[in-house]
Amino acid sequence: MGSLPSAGRNRMKRLVLARLLQAGLVMLVVGILCFVLVRALPGDPAMRIAAGRYGPDANITEAAEQVRRELGLDQPLLVQLGASLGQLARLDLGHSVVTGLPITKELRIQLGATLWLSGSALALSLLLGPPIGLLAGLRRGGWVDNASLGGAIVLRSLPPFVLGLLLILVFAMLLGLFPPAGYGTWRDLALPALTLALGLAAVSSRVARDAVAAVARTPYLAFARLKGLPEAVVVRRHVLRNAAIPVISYLALQAIYLIEGVVVVETLFGIPGIGHALVHAVIARDVPMVQGTALAMGLLFVVIAMAVDLACHWLDPRPKRT
Amino acid sequence: MSTADATLVPITQRSWLTPSRMAGLALLGLLALFALSGPLLVSVDPSEQDFAASLAPPGSDYLLGADHYGRSMLARLAYGARLSFGMALLTVATAAVPGILLGLLAAWRGGWLERVLDLVSTVLLALPGLLLVLILLAFAPGTFGPLYLGLALTLWIEFYRVTWVTAGGVLKQPHVEATRLLGFGTSYILRSLVLPEIRPILITLSAFAMSTAIIAISTLSAISVGLRPPTPELGAMIVELLPYYAEAPLHVLMPGILIFLLVLGLQLATRSDAR
């Protein structure tokens, strides 16, 4: 038994530890699957790596033999698996079979685009969803509540690629407001970010609405009104703070939608990010690239989830009863 | 444990068939009818080409028009709906049956089985489902096998966890204990006491898993790692027709509307109005 602050610190440590364990599992799953993938593809892996490194050379057989000895491809499979997981743990991701560049270098370039897209989508969804949920929850059964419910059902029935396509058709082709594809300026980012934000806001607006409706029924809110606090103060001080907790903690689940959506939306809008690279690596069967990009997306997911955990802990430091 | 001594709240006596569920079921029924009877009534091969009717508008010879190769849109949409329904049903069945059985077994036996299954599901859940499916697709891009395997592999976990938690709660109840002491067998307890409690949530879960599968299959086909164009797959059809948007905008939208209606029907059919 410790004092209250140290108990809070302990819980924070546990949260971070659980997410670090998850990050380790992401590495393990991606590493093992890609290890199997290299062996399952037809042809000699040593030959393929040699060709990726030195190009289709005349003395490729010698080069392949050298690669085999260097990478230990003649060793037993379990030893090789151990070695390749060890390499992964040191973040040595190897070279792309297609471009020949180090994976870490490619990822560093792509990470910027992915972070911009996911960050602006998340910010936009928080600007759209919770305010609508607040209005709907304060007047249950009102027109905002009914309209946002209908909108949420429709948006959740649209896969991100269909939604993105509709936005392109309306905003790019019909109205000519934003470019349909490309990357560079904020105008290019508008439609892909909006595609993801609408999907996220469809859920977060309903979560916020239910949270606000739950707070609106509590005795302390009735008391705050009865003691004569102005409505703006009631909303700001009592409703917003208490309703924020479920909305933020639900973001951890929404991170899955965000990461999966980023892969699809980047491919649809031609944004040179990690998700786009992952899809193209799958098509080209560039295994080191598949491994690197899947690992980066998986770790991004873990980082977002950990940030949400810590934000929840900061908002509501009471220990959870489990 | 606080659930052990609390008696279960009886399932609400309210009418199960709310207006939104009725609308959802009606929509699903119509779509199923279209998917099943469409290929019989139209009797046109979805891959039969008629270049004279390339991009024919709806109406004329073809009820819903024809695509850029002059293939009947009606036939292709009906086959596409059948494909989406079929693949989603197969995937969800493959995920649900082992998920529910393992969940019941873990709730009943506990011990090392529970711990092993918990570890396996934690490992699989560490990565977002679509990433797992994408890595598996690298084994054989453009085929249904890895798509099916990857989706089933991510979807069974939810069935397992929900069954495990719900059945575990039911099995701790005093009335189950009493039934067991009276000498009723395992199968009787599972059939008459556990199943009615877990059925509603499993139906909701199945509908949710089906819409996840439909969305995933069409999305992956649209970004050209799922099923490939000659197959009348709804997502692939959209991308295939997109270059002809200027001439035939309706053709591009039709497969999209069909996916939307499928998912909308599944959502409405299992919506609970908690007001």
Residue A320's pLDDT band, with cuts at 50, 70 and 90, is low
Q: Provide the CB-side half-sphere exposure for A278 (13 A, CA).
A: 32
Average the pLDDT over A76-99 and give the result: 75
Report helix, strand and coil shares of chain A as percent, to nearest 5: 80, 0, 20
- Give percent of chain A with pLDDT exceeding 70: 88
Instruction: Judge: A263–B260 Cβ closer than 8 Å, yes or no.
Output: no
SS3 B44: coil
Highest-confidence segment of A51-55, A257-261, B125-129: A257-261
Question: Is 80 exceeded by the pLDDT of residue A26?
Answer: yes
Residue A40 belongs to what H/E stretch?
helix A4-40
Residue A322 has pLDDT above 60, yes or no: no
Q: Count how many Cα atoms sit within 13 Å of the Cα of residue B176 in the half-sphere of its side chain.
A: 23
| ipTM of predicted complex | 0.80
What pLDDT does B4 receive? 41
Are A19 and A306 contacting, i.e. CB atoms less than 8 angstroms apart?
A: yes
pLDDT, tens digit, 9 for 90 and up, residues A130-174: 889 888 888 888 888 888 888 888 888 888 888 988 888 888 777
Q: Delimit the domains of chain B by residue range.
A: 78-261
User: What is the chain A residue with the closest CA to B269?
Assistant: A153
Residue A26's CB is within 10 A of a number of other CB atoms, namely 23
Separation CA A37–CA A287 (nearest Å): 7
Neighbours of B43 (CB within 10 A): 8
Report the distance separating Cα A266 and Cα A117, nearest Å: 8
| Secondary structure (DSSP) of B164-218 | HHHHHHHHTSHHHHHHHHTT--HHHHIIIIIHHHHHHHHHHHHHHHHHHHHHHHH
* Per-residue b or e along B135-158, where b marks 16 or more CB atoms closer than 10 Å to that residue's CB: bbbbbebbebebbbbbbbbbbbbb
Distance of alpha carbon A263 from alpha carbon A160, whole angstroms: 10
pLDDT over 50 at B3, yes or no = no
Distances (CA, A) of B91 to A95, A284, B87, B154: 36, 26, 6, 10
The tokens describing A186, both together, are 């904020």
Partner A, chain B 160-189, Cβ-Cβ below 8 Å: none
Confidence of residue B90 (pLDDT cuts 50, 70, 90): very high
C-alpha span between A306 and A21 (Å, rounded): 11
- What is the pLDDT, as a whole number, of residue A251? 84
Mean pLDDT of chain A: 81
The rounded percent of chain B whose pLDDT value lies above 90 is: 3
The whole-angstrom distance between residue A93's C-alpha and the CA centroid of its chain comes to 21
- Give A161 or A179, the one with higher predicted confidence: A161
Closest CA to A156 of A204, A219, A123: A204
DSSP A200: H
Of residues B46 and A277, more confidently modeled: A277
Six token digits for residue A214: 């739950």
Q: How far apart are CA A106 and CA A177, in angstroms?
A: 32
Q: Which pLDDT score, from 0 to 100, does residue B9 have?
A: 47
Amino acid B2: pLDDT: 40
Segment 120-159 of chain A within 8 Å of chain B by CB:
140-141, 153-154, 156-159
- Measured between CA atoms, the residue of chain B closest to residue A210 is B275
Overall average pLDDT of the B159-166 stretch: 87
Count H helices and E strands in chain B, helices first.
Answer: 10, 0
CATH number attached to the domain at B78-261 = 1.10.3720.10
Q: Do B245 and A153 touch (CB under 8 A)?
A: no
Find the CB nearest B128 among A157, A259, A287: A259
Chain B nearest-CA residue for A284: B138
Q: What is the pTM of this model?
A: 0.81
Judge whether residue B133 has pLDDT over 80.
yes
